[in-house]
Amino acid sequence: MATVADKVARRVEEHYPHVLGLAGAAMMLVFGPNLMTSAAANGWHLDQLYAALFNLSTVFTGFLFTFYSFVVTADRGFLAQARQSIYLQRANGFTIVAITAGFILCVLSIPTLVWQPAPIVRNLEMVWLSVWVGTSVWALLAFERATRLFIIFASRHKGSQ
């Protein structure tokens, strides 16, 4: 029987990428204008940040899609034997969320790369950047969660081959 702490831990595990993504967007709305002013004063190359997160999300998303395709089609080895494992089922679910978040980040990053919002930000630009920052946080944490859970799954099923 699961304890209250187990139930809370499971809920945190399920939702922390989403919650922290929303928190990142909200923080960008609140602190973004000062952050962007500081970026301009210090000569930061924000275009490099936009490009780096676009590149990272495309690589992670492509890798996770390939990995997910392999996992769901494997018909032998420890993956086939452990198909009903709660760890594999949760890893698959979290992988789908990570792929979705990564895809959305890729799509949102394209106009950001072309437009390259200036450090002097107006209201609409700050809303766009807040959405982009929130999506970036969501995607990166979803990638981390899917990867970490698969590592747990693999370590629990090492000897089942």
* 25-75: pLDDT as tens digits: 999 999 998 998 898 889 888 889 999 999 999 999 999 999 888 888 888
- Residue 72 within a domain: yes
- Residue 150 within a domain: yes
Contact, 88 vs 153, CB < 8 A? yes
Is 81 a residue whose pLDDT tops 90? no
- Residue 23 within a domain: no
- Residue 107 within a domain: yes
At CB < 8 A and 24+ separation, what contacts does 8-13 make?
13/145
* 99-149: pLDDT as tens digits: 999 999 999 999 999 988 766 667 788 899 999 999 999 999 999 999 998
Q: What is the dihedral of CA 106, 109, 111, 112, to 10 degrees?
A: 180
Task: Give the pLDDT confidence score for residue 132 in this predicted structure.
Answer: 95
- Which H or E element spans position 122? none
- Residue 37 within a domain: no
Is 1 a residue whose pLDDT tops 70? no
Task: Give the pLDDT confidence score for residue 87 in this predicted structure.
Answer: 76
Tell me the residue range of the domain where 57 lies.
45-160
Task: Give the pLDDT confidence score for residue 73 in this predicted structure.
Answer: 85
**Phi then psi dihedrals of residue 3, to 5 deg:** -80, 170
Is 77 a residue whose pLDDT tops 90? no
How far is residue 40's CA from residue 132's CA, in Å, rounded to a whole number? 19
Count of domains observed in the chain: 1
Q: Given pLDDT bands bounded at 50, 70 and 90, which one contains residue 84?
A: confident
What is the model's pTM?
A: 0.86
Task: Give the pLDDT confidence score for residue 160 in this predicted structure.
Answer: 53
- Residue 62 within a domain: yes
- Residue 142 within a domain: yes
- Which H or E element spans position 49? helix 46-73
| CA neighbours closer than 13 Å in the CB half-sphere of residue 44 | 16
Is 19 a residue whose pLDDT tops 70? yes
- Residue 134 within a domain: yes
Task: Give the pLDDT confidence score for residue 138 in this predicted structure.
Answer: 96
Considering only residues 84 and 35, tell me which one the structure prediction assigns the higher pLDDT. 35
